[in-house]
A = this chain, B = another copy of it.
């Protein structure tokens, strides 16, 4: 296989990309000046080299420090720990500027029929972290999809007393921004009614 086809094949494995768009990516790069190509490939290598997994929260971060900027920030609320599935969820939460505590990245979710949750998520590491730092509240911020709710159940179970004696909460359920009642499912309405204020 020639190198152009191989490049297309790699692009075709990017998230959400099919063979046709992969080809357009390859031609897009071919049409760019050599200086751009140089910057692009250097950037990829630089980002990869400067990225490390924080040993405390397990998120990917950039910079030469040992732990990430959030774990090392004394101004964050050290008594609250939010558990999320992925780095992208962490990014969403940070963007909302609504949370000021610490994080723990599970690394994924557990599909409903999966027999070995330990291979899917960092459950052991979470328990160690909780025993070491004993937060007052652990907020499980997981998708309200079947996999997300299953994962929340597994984590809640693992955090039971006597291992953890603090509070375990989940994100509030209800109407999201822009929701229309006519199209809302019964569960969402039930939760929105329960959480009315």
Q: Which residues of B contact A87 (CB under 8 A)?
A: 27
Bound complex: CA of A191 vs CA of B173, how far in Å? 9
Is A133 on the interface with B (CB-CB < 8 A)? no
Residue of B nearest to A142 (CB): B181
Residues of B within 8 Å of A97, CB to CB, are: 186
- The reply to whether the CB of A73 lies closer than 8 angstroms to some CB of chain B is no
Interface size on A, residues (CB 8 A): 87
- Copies of this protein chain in the complex: 4
Q: Which of A43-61 contact B (CB under 8 A)?
A: 43-48, 50-51, 60
A111 close to chain B: CB less than 8 A? no
Known: A6-B43, A143-B180. A15 touches B21 (CB 8 A): yes
Residues of A bordering B, CB below 8 Å: 2-4, 6-7, 10, 14-16, 20-21, 23-32, 34, 37-41, 43-48, 50-51, 60, 62, 84-89, 91-93, 95-99, 139, 141-145, 148, 169-197
